[in-house]
Amino acid sequence: MKIVTILGARPQFIKAGSVSREIAKHKEIEEIIVHTGQHYDANMSDVFFEEMQIPKPDYFLDINGLGHGAMTGQMLEKIEAVLLKEKPDWVMVYGDTNSTLAGALAAAKLHIKIAHVEAGLRSFNMKMPEEINRILTDRISSLLFCPTDTAVQNLKNEGYTALDCKIVKCGDVMQDGALFYKDLAVKPACDIRDGFVLCTIHRAENTDDEVRLRNIFEALATIAKEKQIILPLHPRTKKIIENLKLNTDNVTLVDPLGYLEMVWLIDHCELVMTDSGGLQKEAYFFENPCITLRDETEWVELVENGFNILAGADKEKIVDTFKNHASCFTPHISLNLYGDGKASQKIVEEMLF
């Protein structure tokens, strides 16, 4: 069996790394990895792949810095050329990026079966490009690997049981990775005080909206008077903050960190504040509460079960939730929301048998 895996962003490589390590146990499977280049990341050097124990890409397409249409179109063209050359049995895609959709479309046009990891997730916000990507990818996939019961139910609600596809609840590959990388975590070389808060902000719905971003940073400035906030910032977001002259008093701003450093911070922090989908789950994996700086989340089970609170960009709600977080969160620790850390094994077994 030959599988072509399409990836475009560093988080996707980390997720796929867990599955690739499982694939490597099976000599009857050949995996070809294609990196579209969607999110250019200087940290993704040879050292990154070696430290993370992730296979290096077989193809690098170098497509980035374009609008949605141009980017997806160029990816579709170049991925199609790779598929015509490699003639795989399966194309595997992850999540909801433009690379995900382009890989799925290229495969579907060539009648190659598609396996979608993280299928069935819905924010129900069609203004998010990620929502469009994940819905379209699900529709043309043959194997839909769902991380949660909610994801499975979303597909059932949309009529997928009547389509020519198979829905599989496999658990979350991110949990596989969290368990694997916890022992490899590295403490960052920055000022770190006990009981710190880890914060990340990167989504366009926040960074491109001055009112939302200003409210969030006013809340952070208030919280930072009581607790250290460590905030790794992408250069683009940092430039926006500087241009808007936002208040970053007392906030510990750091350059983007490697994943193993982020794992250390997630494991050792007191609280996570983020607009990242992945970090919401990683907070849960390490049994930390999370304040989500968005109005909705795909990971509704975290909210429903007391691990996560949606605060949006409401300054008062963000500050109040922080001040009362010891009583605001009512986590049911005994719940196993995302599987048992064997999602990758289940995915490979399903594809083989």
- 18 with 158, same domain: the answer is yes
- 320 with 348, same domain: the answer is no
- 142 with 165, same domain: the answer is yes
Options 35, 111, 202, 234, the catalytic residue: 202
At 236-260, the pLDDT tens digits run: 899 999 999 999 989 999 998 988 9
Mean pLDDT, rounded, for 121-150: 95
Domains contained in the chain, number? 2
Quick one: pLDDT band at residue 41, thresholds 50, 70, 90?
low
At 171-207, the pLDDT tens digits run: 999 999 999 999 999 999 999 999 999 999 998 899 9
Predicted confidence at residue 279, as pLDDT, reads 94
- 223 with 255, same domain: the answer is yes
- 61 with 89, same domain: the answer is yes
For residue 185, tell me if it sits in a domain. Answer: no
- 307 with 343, same domain: the answer is no
For residue 79, tell me if it sits in a domain. Answer: yes
Q: Which two tokens stand for residue 116?
A: 């979608």
User: Is 111 noted as a catalytic residue in this protein?
Assistant: no
Predicted confidence at residue 334, as pLDDT, reads 66
Mean pLDDT, rounded, for 79-88: 98
Mean pLDDT, rounded, for 131-140: 97
- 40 with 75, same domain: the answer is yes
Residue 65 predicted with pLDDT over 90: no
Domain that holds residue 14: 2-172+339-352
Residue position matching structure tokens 């990818």: 137
pTM, 2 dp: 0.85
